[in-house]
Amino acid sequence: MNPFLFLFPFLFFTHESVSQQTYSGNHILECNNSNKSERTPEFLYTCNGIQSCSTFLIFKTQPLYNTIFTISKLMSTDPTDVARINGITDSAGILPLNKELIIPVTCSCSGLTTCDSLQKNNIYKENDLQVGGKIRVPLRCACPTNSQTMSRIRFLLTYSITWEDSIKKISKQFDVKFQDLVLENRFCSVKDLISPFTNLLVPLSTEPLSTQTRTFYRNRNRNQNLKLSKKGIMIGTISGGFLAILCGVFVICLVSKRKRANKGKIVKLELPKDIQLGIFSVDQVLKVYKFEELEEATDGFTLEKRLSASVYKGSIKGRKVAIKQTGTTRIKR
């Protein structure tokens, strides 16, 4: 029997096993790894034989990168493709913060970022960055292996893990089998934990959908804001109630004081003089006297009492009056 027939399957299996990508965990945050080959999880994903492929990254919007244009420029991608796959019509519109966007990229056997890979690709040291300086940021991505392609896996989406994520949640979000996600990232056990600020690969048979993305809010912030909101409402309610009580007491005291001040006090009402004169005038006009009284008051309408052609002066009960003759009858002495 030909010995090569036994050797060939063994070599093929070995090649595919080495090509599988491994979840790196918190190693990507370290800057002192001794391996400088950039072929371990501490650097970038390994090159599995396929030199270039189309794949996707998940990017979360930030204050300076919250439009399709700014994000596309940052990621060196076509804004039209980014808008299309995310179902966005207004490329200049402001997007909510922490909204997940699907970014189509071309992965070329290098290429989310680790501390060591940044140092390897730039002249700056870990804590010696210069203001205004430019740095090269290799994006961490991977292409499907031959065995994955045969399993109808077309894309390996690079997903950035956040605080509340878990393998189960991510598999449900992208409609991927839990076991497939564990296998493709070479977890030792289904109980393995994942860490925030790291990334894993999500095997997809079709392009990701915009409905599979989400706008992320931290539960810790929500809980904190909820507590602050409840505390503010409580303080406002207590303060408002206390202020209302003070106002009520003040009004009661003021009313009581005024009642005590007005008790037993005679209020004298005095009309203005112009009103008094008006009343007096009306009283004089409406007063009716007998002719004999008028004749007596004017001494029989003598010339000495005459003021004008038809007006005489007189005195009635000690009051000086002016008497006007209004009739046409001639007054006789």
What are the strands of the beta sheet with 155-160, ordered from one edge?
Answer: 100-107, 53-60, 155-160, 199-204
The DSSP bridge pattern shows strands 311-316 and 199-204 to be unpaired
pLDDT at 2: 41
Taken in order 24, 25, 28, 32, the sign of the CA dihedral is: negative
User: d(Cα 301, Cα 130) in Å, to the nearest integer?
Assistant: 124
Q: Is 153 helix (H, G, I), strand (E, B) or coil?
A: coil
Tokens of 155: 């894309």
Name the phi and psi angles at 58, rounded to 5: -105, 120
Return the pLDDT at 203: 92
CA–CA–CA angle 176, 182, 187 (5° rounding): 160
CA angle 138, 29, 184 (to 5 degrees): 70
Q: Are strands 199-204 and 155-160 parallel, antiparallel or unpaired?
A: antiparallel
* CA separation, residue 186 to residues 1, 62, 85, 156, 200 (Å): 36, 31, 29, 14, 10
Q: Are strands 100-107 and 53-60 parallel, antiparallel or unpaired?
A: antiparallel
CB contact at 8 A, 197 and 29? yes
Please, are residues 159 and 170 in contact by the beta-carbon 8 Å criterion?
Answer: yes
Is the pTM value of this prediction over 0.75? no
CB 126 within 8 A of CB 234: no
Cα separation of 136 and 110, whole Å?
Answer: 12
Contact 113, 137 (CB under 8 A): yes
Note the helical H segments in the chain: 4-19, 68-75, 79-85, 115-121, 146-150, 167-173, 178-184, 219-262, 273-286, 291-297
pLDDT value at position 206? 93
Residues of the chain scoring pLDDT < 50: 1-19, 35-43, 111-112, 220, 275, 278-280, 282-283, 328-333
What is the phi/psi pair of residue 233, to 5°?
A: -65, -40
Sign of CA dihedral 240, 246, 250, 256: positive
Contacts of residues 289-297 at CB distance under 8 Å and 24 or more positions apart, as own/partner, are: 289/316, 294/323, 297/321, 297/323
Using alpha carbons, list the distances in angstroms from residue 79 to 51, 67, 75, 100, 139: 25, 10, 10, 15, 18
3-state DSSP assignment of residue 322: strand
Cα dist from 1 to 4, 6, 8, 11, 13, whole Å: 9, 9, 13, 18, 21
Q: What is the pLDDT of residue 242?
A: 74
Q: Are 160 and 100 in contact (CB under 8 A)?
A: no
Please report the pLDDT score of residue 100 as a whole number.
93
